[in-house]
Each structure stands twice: as structure tokens, then as C-alpha cells.
Amino acid sequence: MGYTDPHCAESRPVAGPSGSRTTRGASRTRLANLHRGCVKVDGNGVRTSTQGSFSGTMVSAMSSSTTARAYWKPEEETLARPALEALQLERLKRTVARVCESVPLYRKKFEQAKVTPGDIRTLADLRRLPFTTGADLRESYPAGMLAVPLDDTLRLHTSSGTTGKPKALFFSRQDVDNAAELIARSFVAAGMTKRDIFQNMMTYGLFTGALVTHYGAEKIGCLVIPAGPGNSDRQLLLMQDFHTTSIHLTPSFALYFADVLEKRSIDPRKDLSLKRAFVGAEPHSEETRRKIEDALGLRVFNSYGLSEMNGPGVAFECQEQAGMHLWEDHYIMEIIDPESGEALPPGERGELVLTTLVREAMPILRYRTRDITSIVDAPCACGRTHRRIQRITGRADDMLIVRGVNIYPQQIERILMGVPKLGRNYVIVLEGFDEMTVKVELSEAGFDDQLEHVMALQNEIVGLLRAEILTKPNVDLVPPGTLPVSEGKAKRVIDNRKL
Ligand code: AMP
Ligand code: ZN
């Protein structure tokens, strides 16, 4: 049976000068010449195209509903659970044997834990292996955890940690390709096709966020615009002139960018061609997702990853937007109690622990991500068999203790983003002896010079926050656009306490 890319009938919108959109099909322009034709894939995975050559296989099938269901590699994404688990076990055994042989840190850890590669006979035996922590990576800096000769590495990234030594992450050629494969798989799961125009608004450089997704989008065959972050006016110009359909950015920059559009009187639904945003690198709530979707007139897909595990493409939302598929042929996930280290069953919230299964240059076993989530065991309507994780609600080390109460900044964000009169930027300031102030911008619509209106809103927010976090914060409502904006990950908590 042959499958056809359902998007073949469409061609990319074609650029005119900023603001003046030329309609589809004007193949005279330069952009249209970049158009690469349609791809057909037969049952044996043989690809044919009407023109040009293709690096990937995008296969679509019609689901029982009328929507086309697209996969990048259906055989990998819909592998039956027993086969997927058998593959995990085979890859785990190979990884454990390799690190024991080539990474002194693991040899020492195995000796201390009195475990040998031969002890790994089932997936449950994973729990016999020691954890790897961020401190292990820092102490092995720069190259102590390499499992291949330096000559066989192709790329270096570092983690975006702000304190102490960074974590250095090496990629082999195969690792670079695998990371791009997982992005292609993830982007297609969110509805992207080679017809899309992808504006990458993440930071290029040592941070994995932009480069890894860049290569993945190129694998699909999209036109990639490596815009990087910041400079909202240039971003907007690119979006208008090249009819960007998909963007990748942090949630905080998405919220800021929405403000910029409002100020410039741009209606994204009429004036832009945006269809979807891939949003990640920072915890954000469902309320924030909705706020971004409303303001930018697109669908937001949650994208999870960390440099220690190749960066983005570890877990990604499909079109169902109901949790992120964690790609289990590349990673084994566990959820543990962050205090005791004991395993928690599916559905329970705890710290995500990840083991790489195909990483060549720097395999990592049972990595304590510090990210808090839970496993969704139920099958997904999209047909992918890889289990999902819930939205990350914060990091184990993000937890604030204020007047003896445990608070995650995410709880505060969820409340603020649910109040229409509030804007999109906020910061939590801790000072003195446990004094907490939530500074939040008003929205343009909520900005009011009547003092009693502002006081009433302020009291309302204090009440909502107190009900959520069980302690009474101060609330400072500030005019739109007055809080600092960061280009990379937003700094939402400023802790100046003298405790
Ligand atoms: P980095 O290694 O610099 O890419 O940072 C990775 C960290 O960013 C993760 O461990 C998470 O704490 C956070 N992160 C990445 N993606 C998301 C996401 N979609 N939701 C929440 N936090 C995220
Ligand atoms: Zn799904």
C-alpha cells in the first residue's frame, strides 16, 4: 500500500514584501523555487518524490476520524509495547556494558553498588544501578564521562546552569543525527510538514535548544529561519515576509512577543501565517499555554528536553496536546520520590530519572533530572505507543520554603495567567525574613488609573494566591511592559532573603 503526504496538494505560501501577502502558488518567486515537490512512500519505506531528494520518511495514514495522522517513522513510533520493551532491554544491556568498560566513573559506581553488567537481565534490574547526578557531570568536567575517543566526537554543548562549572555534553556524529531524528519525529507528531516555514527563536550557541531543533527541522525539509531570540521587530518582519508557520521559543518570550504584537496592532490571525509554536525550556502552566494560543492565534505544543539528554526532543506533545510522548526507544524513564529515591508507580508525581539507550559519546545512566512530573500510562489517541509524561510542574530544587510552607513558582504562575486583567510578565521577590512579593504586570486592558479598581484587583489576587499557596504574599501590580524581559530562560524568582 502506498501512502501520500496529505500536504502535497498545498504549496508553501509565497513571500511578498512585508505586509503584502502573495497568495499560494505564485511559483515565479524565488521562495517558490525552493519548493521541493511531493513525497510518496510505499509500504517498503521506499521514497519517491516529484522532484529533489528527501532525507526523511514522512508517512501518513487516515485515522478513523477524517484527520490525517502523520508519523515520521511509524514503525518506531507505533511499535507494540512488548517489542519496544525488548528493544529497551537490549539497548540497556549494551549501554551498561559500554560504560562499565569505558567510563571510569561508572566502573567505580558499579563497584560501590556491587553490580556488574551481567546483573542486568530484565528492565526491572535497572533499579540495581546507581543514579547519576548533575554533580557527577560537573565533577567529570571537561571530558571525564566520554565513552568514545575525543576524535570520534563531533559537537560540544553545555548546560545552561548559572552556578559553578558547566556540564559539558559531547555528541558523536550518530548522536547529532539521532537528536535530529527525534526532533523530526516530534515536530511531525505536532503536525509539521516539509511545507512549513520554521522560525527558530531559541538561542543558538552552546545551549542545545536551537541547534538541535534546527537540524531536526531541516531533516523534515522545512525552510528553517535561524532567527535566534530577541529583536521582536526583526522577528515580526521575518514572519511577515517569509510567512512563518511554526515558531520555537520559550514561553516567557512568547508572552512578551504577544505584547509586542498588541502594541504594533498586529492581529496574528489576519496579518501572520502562524499555525503552531513549540514551547519549552522553562516550566509553564496550562493557563500560560492558553494565553499564548489566544494571543498568537496558533496551537502551542509543549517540548521537553535537557542538555544532558541531547536537549529538546526527549518528550513532545502530539496533536492531542495531552501530555508529552517520551521517546522510549531512546530513553528509559522512571519516576522516583526525590527525597528517598524510591520508585513511584505510573500516575504519581515525582522526579523524572532518565537513562540514555543509544547515546554513543556520553551515555548516562539513571540521570536525576530534578524535574517533577508523572507518567501517563493510558494509550494516546494518536496511535503512538511511547508513554507520555505530564507537563513539568517545576524542579525539585525550585521549591521555595516561605514561612515553613512549600511553594512551587508554577503554582503562582498558574493563578496569575488565569486572570485576564493581568499581563504576561511577573517576578517573585523574596526579601528580609521570608517576605514574599509577587510583582505582576497589568494587561493593557486591565490598566486603570482608578486607584480603587487597582486596589480591588490587588486584593483579589492576594486572595487567589493565598488559597493556592497557603500563605499571604504581597502583590504589586505594575504597568504593562515595566518588568525586565530575558532573552533566554526567564528568571522568575529573586531570592534576597537573609535567612
Ligand atoms: P537545559 O539543559 O539548559 O536545556 O535545561 C533543561 C531544563 O529546562 C530541564 O531540566 C527542565 O528543568 C527545563 N525544561 C525544559 N523543557 C521544559 C518544558 N517543556 N517544561 C518545563 N521545563 C522544561
Ligand atoms: Zn499522542
Instruction: Tell me how far the alpha carbon of residue 320 lies from the centroid of ligand 2, in angstroms.
Output: 6
Sign of the CA dihedral running 187, 188, 190, 195? positive
Cβ of 421: how many Cβ atoms within 10 Å? Answer: 16
- pLDDT at position 452 is 92
Identify the CA nearest to 198 among candidates 243, 235, 250, 247: 247
Instruction: Tell me how far the alpha carbon of residue 364 lies from the centroid of ligand 1, in angstroms.
Output: 17
Q: Give domain limits for the chain.
A: 13-77, 172-396, 400-497
Cis upstream peptide for 420 (omega within 30°) = no
Residue in 371, 388, 491 to alter for ligand 1 test, most ligand atoms within 8 A of Cβ: 371
For residues 392 and 373, give the distance between their C-alpha atoms in angstroms, rounded to a whole number. 5
For residues 475 and 393, give the distance between their C-alpha atoms in angstroms, rounded to a whole number. 22
Pairing status of strand 168-172 against strand 153-158: antiparallel
Instruction: Tell me how far the alpha carbon of residue 171 lies from the centroid of ligand 2, in angstroms.
Output: 28
Report whether residue 281 contacts ligand 1, using a CB cutoff of 6 Å: yes
Instruction: Tell me how far the alpha carbon of residue 223 lies from the centroid of ligand 2, in angstroms.
Output: 25
Identify the CA nearest to 429 among candidates 383, 483, 364: 483
Atom of ligand 1 nearest to the CA of 371: 12
Dihedral of the alpha carbons of 342, 348, 350, 352, in degrees to the nearest 10: 90
Report whether residue 307 contacts ligand 1, using a CB cutoff of 6 Å: yes
- pLDDT at position 63 is 44
- pLDDT at position 372 is 95
- pLDDT at position 60 is 63
Report whether residue 304 contacts ligand 1, using a CB cutoff of 6 Å: yes
Instruction: Tell me how far the alpha carbon of residue 160 lies from the centroid of ligand 1, in angstroms.
Output: 10
Number of H helices, E strands in the chain: 13, 26
Provide the angle, in degrees to the nearest 10, between the axes of the packed helices 286-296 and 251-263. 30
Nearest CA to ligand 1 atom 3: 160
- What CATH number is given for 172-396 in this structure? 3.40.50.12780
Taking the CA of 206 as reference, the closest ligand is: 1
For residues 413 and 359, give the distance between their C-alpha atoms in angstroms, rounded to a whole number. 35
Instruction: Tell me how far the alpha carbon of residue 39 lies from the centroid of ligand 1, in angstroms.
Output: 34
Report whether residue 393 contacts ligand 1, using a CB cutoff of 6 Å: no
Instruction: Tell me how far the alpha carbon of residue 190 lies from the centroid of ligand 2, in angstroms.
Output: 9
Report whether residue 371 contacts ligand 1, using a CB cutoff of 6 Å: yes
Atom of ligand 1 nearest to the CA of 279: 19
Atom of ligand 1 nearest to the CA of 307: 2
Cα angle 401, 407, 409 (rounded to 5 degrees) comes to 120
Report whether residue 306 contacts ligand 1, using a CB cutoff of 6 Å: yes
Nearest CA to ligand 1 atom 14: 281
Taking the CA of 372 as reference, the closest ligand is: 1
Nearest CA to ligand 1 atom 21: 283
Burial 189-205 (b: 16+ CB within 10 A, else e): bbbbbbbbbbbbbbbee
Report whether residue 153 contacts ligand 1, using a CB cutoff of 6 Å: no
For residues 166 and 151, give the distance between their C-alpha atoms in angstroms, rounded to a whole number. 22
Cα-only R_g, the chain: 24
Report whether residue 288 contacts ligand 1, using a CB cutoff of 6 Å: no
- pLDDT at position 80 is 98
The structure's pTM equals: 0.86
Report whether residue 395 contacts ligand 1, using a CB cutoff of 6 Å: yes
Instruction: Tell me how far the alpha carbon of residue 324 lies from the centroid of ligand 2, in angstroms.
Output: 8
Report whether residue 88 contacts ligand 1, using a CB cutoff of 6 Å: no
pLDDT one digit per residue (tens) for the chain, 499 residues: 333 333 333 455 545 445 444 433 333 343 433 333 333 333 333 233 333 333 345 666 544 443 456 999 999 999 999 999 999 999 999 999 999 999 999 999 999 999 999 999 999 999 999 999 999 999 999 999 999 999 999 999 998 665 568 899 999 999 999 999 999 999 999 999 999 999 999 999 999 999 999 999 999 999 999 999 999 999 999 999 999 999 999 999 999 999 999 999 999 999 999 999 999 999 999 999 999 999 999 999 999 999 999 999 999 999 999 999 999 999 999 999 999 999 999 999 999 999 999 999 999 999 999 999 999 999 999 999 999 999 999 888 888 999 888 898 989 999 999 999 999 899 999 999 889 999 999 998 888 888 899 999 999 999 999 999 999 999 999 999 999 987 778 889 999 987 6
Report whether residue 159 contacts ligand 1, using a CB cutoff of 6 Å: yes
Instruction: Tell me how far the alpha carbon of residue 283 lies from the centroid of ligand 1, in angstroms.
Output: 7
E strand or H helix at 430, and its extent? strand 422-432
For residues 169 and 112, give the distance between their C-alpha atoms in angstroms, rounded to a whole number. 25
Instruction: Tell me how far the alpha carbon of residue 312 lies from the centroid of ligand 1, in angstroms.
Output: 8
Looking at domain 400-497, its CATH class is alpha beta
Strand, helix or coil for residue 183: helix
